[in-house]
Amino acid sequence: MSVTKKKSRTNPKRENGKSNTIKLKFDTSWSYAPAPESKSAASIKPQYDLFINGEWQKPLSKKYFETFNPATEEKLSEVADAGSADVDKAVKAARNAYDNVWKKMVPKERAKYIFRIARMIQERARELAIIETLDGGKPIRESRDFDVPTAANHFFYYAGWADKLEYAFPNRKAVPLGVAGQIIPWNFPLLMAAWKIAPAIATGNTVVLKTAESTPLTALKLAEIIEESGLPPGVVNIITGAGETGAALVNHPGVDKIAFTGSTDVGKIIQRAIAGTHKKATLELGGKAANIIFDDAPIDQAVEGVINGIYFNQGHVCCAGSRLYVQESIAKEVIRKLKDRMSSLIVGDPMDKNTDIGAINSRSQLETIQKYLKIGREEGAEMYESGCPLPGKGYWCRPTLFTNVAQSNRIAQEEIFGPVLSVLTFRTDDEVIEKANNSPYGLSAGVWTDKGSKIFNMTRRMRAGVIWANTFNKFDPSSPFGGYKESGFGREGGLHGLAAYVTLENV
């Protein structure tokens, strides 16, 4: 790291003198020598087949599609595009493994496999982190320090429960559901696979998991780990494909449970598709989290938490703190500090360990974000974006902040899923609770205040599945996660996450 000479303050300047877009001067008072992670520690095959029944099987569809590095637009590999016959094969393999092996296995033996998978993820952590960053565009610091360790922790946590289900559900017998069809998104590809697979197999179910089309590679690496772990064939099947593959899995009559994380629109399609069937479901959908700062909060900490809450992982987070409510008396100070901090964030090469904000996951997601930036300006909000330089190739979005936002504006109501923060103000507790709850979503929220009593008052009255107090985006395998309203239903993580994969019978 080298400290440079110039100490610059952010210097708002209106572009063209008239538009309501203001570019903040990039704060170069700290500059870092590049510290890129090496690609050579990861091996990516040129082509991947489907992992069905413990083997790598060519797709019956005979089709493959490409996955790219969104930071360079370079092709990384191609993966199988599973058709309905492939899905059928995977579900049958899972059913066979369920009936003949997994459900009959002594729970303690099941636990050993899951512990082994957890340890192998740790052993191959560096490779997994590199591939996560190459395939999805998130900064290596995040994949290395958050995604991969948290994925391993989920396997450890649920391995621990596998032979203790009678303590998890006292006086009840936990009976597995059967075959779980699991569909995951592109924002936390390995972690979502872990969230879904670990509790399912710990409770004796078998799995067919479909990755997201733009980020299949770490789940395929996980399939390699599962293969090496010696897990009986068919207990975990990992397939690749797009929406049609997902729909074939949802509609397959041999599936007993659907676990889905993704958009609210697809969540609704899935709910309609399984209505009237025996299939159980947990849906983890979108969000528009309110992050609330009261005037008694430690402001610098709160500002750092807000920055982390919205710019972490390019804002590709369902629980991102995308609506900021600041108490009016401190609004000026908070907005000034946010702008200062925002304009020092480094956007660029996700493989560089200094990078704060990596690449947007895909061209289409970048277009969605840009559409909302336009909507925000048209709605009359004032847009501030960092003046940081962007790489020439790839998909990028500067950290952006809107002020003068009205509660009814689309940028305050709809999920943008990018590094874009809408700032609103409030005067009283009642007002902010009403505003925070005035959303079709209810996944997460944050409260920043010095007073414990205020935290309890807020958390009791807010309709959000997870509420962080004086922190944001903290995850632990033992704590449940999930939403209210259009953010979905069912919980993942903790004991609740186990309950979602069993029926409880009287003993």
Tell which residue, 172, 121, 127, 123, has the closest CA to residue 150: 121
- As measured in angstroms, the least distance from the Cβ of 20 to ligand NAI is 24
**What is the C-alpha to C-alpha distance for residues 215 and 221, in angstroms, rounded to an integer?**
12
Q: Is 243 in the site for ligand NAI (CB under 6 A)?
A: yes
Within its chain, how far is the Cα of 194 from the centroid? 12
DSSP structure string for 45-78 = -SEE-EEETTEEE--TT--EEEEEETTTTEEEEE
Both tokens of 479, joined, read 């704590």
Catalytic pick from 37, 132, 284, 492?
284
Q: Is 214 in the site for Mg ion (CB under 5 A)?
A: yes
Q: Which stretch binds ligand NAI (CB under 6 A): 90-98, 116-124, 278-286, 399-407?
A: 278-286
Both tokens of 4, joined, read 């440079």
Tell which residue, 358, 352, 370, has the closest CA to residue 135: 358
- As measured in angstroms, the least distance from the Cβ of 371 to ligand NAI is 10
388 is catalytic: no
Residue 494 DSSP label? H
> In which residue are the tokens 């480094």 written?
346
**What is the C-alpha to C-alpha distance for residues 463 and 157, in angstroms, rounded to an integer?**
28
Q: Is 67 in the site for Mg ion (CB under 5 A)?
A: yes
Q: Is 211 in the site for Mg ion (CB under 5 A)?
A: no
Tell which residue, 426, 428, 468, 420, has the closest CA to residue 448: 468
Q: Which stretch binds ligand NAI (CB under 6 A): 91-99, 156-164, 259-267, 448-456?
A: 259-267
Q: Is 368 in the site for ligand NAI (CB under 6 A)?
A: yes
Site residues (CB under 6 A) for ligand NAI, limited to 195-234: 210, 212-213
284 is catalytic: yes
Tell which residue, 171, 272, 210, has the closest CA to residue 83: 210
Q: Is 397 in the site for ligand NAI (CB under 6 A)?
A: no
- As measured in angstroms, the least distance from the Cβ of 245 to ligand NAI is 7
The residue from 37, 415, 486, 492 that contacts ligand NAI (CB under 6 A) is 415
Nearer to Mg ion, 67 or 327 (CB): 67
Q: Which stretch binds ligand NAI (CB under 6 A): 73-81, 241-249, 325-333, 448-456?
A: 241-249
**Which of ligand NAI, Mg ion, none does residue 325 bind to, with CB < 5 to 8 Å depending on kind?**
none
- As measured in angstroms, the least distance from the Cβ of 476 to ligand NAI is 18
Max Cα distance, the chain (Å) = 74
Q: Which stretch binds ligand NAI (CB under 6 A): 110-118, 182-190, 299-307, 461-469?
A: 182-190
- As measured in angstroms, the least distance from the Cβ of 286 to ligand NAI is 5
Tell which residue, 6, 8, 10, has the closest CA to residue 343: 10
CB atoms within 10 A of CB 9: 10
Site residues (CB under 6 A) for ligand NAI, limited to 418-457: none
Contact of 402 with 374, CB cutoff 8 Å: no
Nearer to ligand NAI, 160 or 243 (CB): 243
In single-letter form, the type of residue at position 217 comes to: L
Site string for Mg ion, 125-144 (x = CB under 5 A): ----------x---------
Both tokens of 389, joined, read 């330089």
The residue from 183, 290, 360, 464 that contacts ligand NAI (CB under 6 A) is 183
Q: Is 261 in the site for ligand NAI (CB under 6 A)?
A: yes
Q: What is the 3-state secondary structure (H, E, C) of 82-121?
A: CCHHHHHHHHHHHHHHHHHHHCCCCHHHHHHHHHHHHHHH
Q: Is 493 in the site for ligand NAI (CB under 6 A)?
A: no
The residues that touch ligand NAI, with contacts defined as CB under 6 A, are 183-187, 210, 212-213, 242-243, 246-247, 250, 261-263, 266, 269-270, 284-286, 318, 365, 368, 415, 417
The residues that touch Mg ion, with contacts defined as CB under 5 A, are 67-68, 135, 214
